[in-house]
């Protein structure tokens, strides 16, 4: 793929800036070189912080929290100061002017545009705020771990109160926003507004309720065989075999254990998956690994030419999450997938599955039933969990909801939306790590990701009409190749809506997702 050489700019090539037109001279190479050097240093600082964050989640003893918070605060503050320097602003201004006649889709133009967007946002945020937030997040996350273990929201509450206040303060740095929540969403999903979310949920919710009604009218499928203890290490071993077949490169990746599954990377040559290993319910640890491997495959499929620049990131949180969901559900919960892997699964978890047929297993795996835990929710009810969290976050930002009232409000909304009430805080308001990690505004991306994954899947099956048979035979090379070409290799060069339009022919829409759900669950439940 054509692109800027990040570690070496080819001074002897006129097309070092891909797409310069109109007889205009390419931008002054020393300025581009200088900007790339600064960006590389910023990326290095952020990646160093990410290594410390990975260690915090996997191996760091609890007593290291205070020092780790200070270390992260220093690194993130230094990265912020380096990136928001006046010199970066000067270079961006000069390079924008010199690139005015270049191809708007060239790597150089897109790099400058993306960097300028980040710079414009970053200069509004004081470095001291960045450092303070990094330190607070580290301490808050450790408090969340303790609170969840003891199922006691009061342990986490004072930390969350501080985080909410800092989120409100952060929103004030962008006074032209229509809604304070817009600022938080934009960090994860550039361009999306609170009004867009409400419209998306308004289009989805009645259709999901209707589908749930149709499913409820049919006999429930059996899945008691999943409510047994499935050996943790056998789940890990099967997960490794599955994601290896997907194409995950272990020379450039590794797998570790953690409390809450995640993926992080420090470059395309170092991608880390961390998963929880639990025996129950069912084989949930297997799907945690598949989900995080979806993120990892995205990172490993990045364009090497973009490394150490802002282009070497996913287009958005939703696009990144769509890839995890695509591999976890569109592939991992499909019948062709289990036609290939079920014999291995039966062998690994004998005697639990000895008398369970493939179709019984497939139907049970995709059983639709309201559940307490978002990460274990079925595809039909999942987005109701997202709506619940989004509404609470908006209320917190608007000041209409108090942190102290979250457990009660959470339980009330669970009763209203799903008809069940969490028996304790651990399975209720404390179940997600997002708030402790300063990821307020992240949850809506999951629903947007569901829409994207289904829309891409529909197009993939049009382009690869033999895909089901290939999956049935354990062959994933063409699927991975399609995703690398259409999604992974573009990094952050194009915004999410633009990238989806390029890949599928239209912007993000709810229809493919609803078609997918209705067809799949109509077959499973017989309506």
Joined tokens for residue 442: 């992240």
Instruction: State the catalytic residue, choosing from 56, 57, 189, 292.
Output: 292
Please state, in angstroms and rounded to a whole number, the distance separating the CA atoms of residues 387 and 382: 9
Q: Closest Cα to residue 107, out of 310, 362, 372?
A: 310
Residues 58 and 48 sit within 8 Å (Cβ to Cβ): no
Residues 216 and 204 sit within 8 Å (Cβ to Cβ): no
222: DSSP letter: P
The enclosing H or E element of 262 equals strand 262-265
CB atoms within 10 A of CB 442: 23
Please state, in angstroms and rounded to a whole number, the distance separating the CA atoms of residues 81 and 79: 6
Query: In angstroms, what CA-CA distances link 22 with 25, 55, 105, 259?
Result: 9, 51, 15, 56
The residue assigned the tokens 């007593």 is 63
The enclosing H or E element of 148 equals helix 127-150
The residue assigned the tokens 């297997």 is 286
Percent helix, percent strand, percent coil in the chain, to nearest 5: 65, 5, 30
Q: In the annotation, is 393 catalytic?
A: no
Please state, in angstroms and rounded to a whole number, the distance separating the CA atoms of residues 16 and 36: 13
Residues 98 and 141 sit within 8 Å (Cβ to Cβ): no
CA angle 346, 348, 354 (to 5 degrees): 30
The enclosing H or E element of 209 equals helix 194-216
DSSP structure string for 76-137:
HHHHHHHHT-HHHHHHHHHHHHHTTTB-TTSHHHHHHHHHHHHHHHHTTS-HHHHHHHHHHH
DSSP structure string for 22-88:
TTPPPPPHHHHHHHHHHHHHHHHHHHHHHHHHHHHHHT--GGGHHHHHHHHHHHHHHHHHHHT-HHH
Please state, in angstroms and rounded to a whole number, the distance separating the CA atoms of residues 78 and 68: 15
Joined tokens for residue 18: 């891909």
Burial of 59 (0-12, 13-18, 19+ CB in 10 A): exposed
Cis peptide before 171 (omega within 30 of 0): no
**Active centre residues (catalytic):** 292
């Amino acid at each position: 793929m054509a692109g800027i050489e990040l570690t070496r700019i080819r001074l002897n090539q006129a097309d070092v800036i891909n797409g310069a037109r109109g007889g205009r001279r390419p931008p002054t190479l020393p300025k581009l070189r200088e900007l790339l050097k600064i960006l590389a240093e910023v990326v290095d600082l952020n990646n160093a912080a990410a290594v410390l964050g990975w260690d915090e989640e996997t191996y760091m003893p609890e007593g290291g929290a205070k020092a780790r918070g200070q270390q992260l605060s220093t690194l993130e503050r230094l990265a912020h100061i380096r990136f928001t320097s006046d010199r970066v602003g000067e270079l961006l201004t000069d390079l924008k002017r010199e690139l005015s006649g270049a191809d708007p889709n060239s790597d150089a133009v897109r790099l400058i545009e993306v960097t300028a967007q980040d710079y414009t946002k970053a200069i509004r945020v004081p470095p001291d705020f960045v450092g303070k937030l990094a330190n607070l997040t580290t301490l808050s996350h450790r408090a969340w771990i303790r609170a969840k273990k003891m199922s006691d929201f009061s342990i986490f509450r004072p930390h969350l109160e501080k985080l909410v206040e800092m989120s409100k303060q952060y929103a004030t740095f962008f006074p032209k926003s229509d809604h304070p929540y817009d600022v938080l969403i934009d960090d994860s999903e550039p361009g999306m507004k609170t009004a867009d979310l409400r419209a998306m949920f308004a289009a989805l919710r009645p259709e999901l309720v209707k589908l749930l009604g149709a499913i409820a009218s049919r006999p429930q499928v059996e899945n008691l065989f999943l409510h047994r203890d499935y050996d943790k290490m056998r789940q890990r071993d099967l997960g490794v075999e599955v994601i290896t077949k997907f194409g995950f490169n272990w020379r450039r990746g590794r797998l570790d254990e953690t409390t809450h599954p995640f993926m992080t990377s420090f470059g395309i040559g170092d991608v880390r998956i961390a998963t929880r290993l639990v025996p129950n319910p069912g084989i949930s640890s297997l799907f945690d690994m598949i989900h995080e491997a979806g993120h990892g495959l995205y990172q490993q499929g990045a364009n090497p030419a973009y490394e150490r620049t802002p282009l070497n990131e996913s287009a958005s949180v939703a696009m990144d999450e769509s890839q995890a969901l695509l591999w976890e559900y569109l592939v991992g919960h499909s019948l062709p997938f289990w036609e290939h892997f079920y014999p291995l699964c039966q062998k690994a978890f004998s005697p639990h599955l000895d008398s369970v047929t493939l179709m019984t297993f497939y139907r049970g795996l995709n059983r639709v039933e309201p559940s307490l835990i978002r990460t274990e929710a079925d595809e039909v009810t999942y987005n109701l969990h997202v709506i619940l969290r989004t509404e609470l976050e908006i209320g917190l930002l608007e000041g209409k909801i108090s942190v102290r009232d979250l457990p009660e409000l959470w339980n009330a909304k669970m009763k209203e939306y799903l008809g069940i009430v969490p028996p304790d805080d651990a399975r209720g308001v404390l179940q997600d790590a997002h708030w402790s990690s300063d990821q307020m505004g992240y949850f809506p991306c999951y629903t947007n990701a569901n829409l994207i994954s289904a829309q891409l899947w529909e197009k993939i099956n049009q382009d690869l009409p033999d895909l089901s048979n290939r999956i049935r035979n354990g062959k994933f090379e063409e699927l991975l190749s399609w995703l690398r070409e259409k999604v992974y290799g573009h990094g952050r060069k194009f915004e999410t809506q633009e990238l989806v339009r390029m890949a599928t022919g239209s912007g993000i829409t709810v229809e493919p997702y609803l078609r997918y759900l209705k067809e799949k669950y109509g077959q499973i439940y017989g309506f």
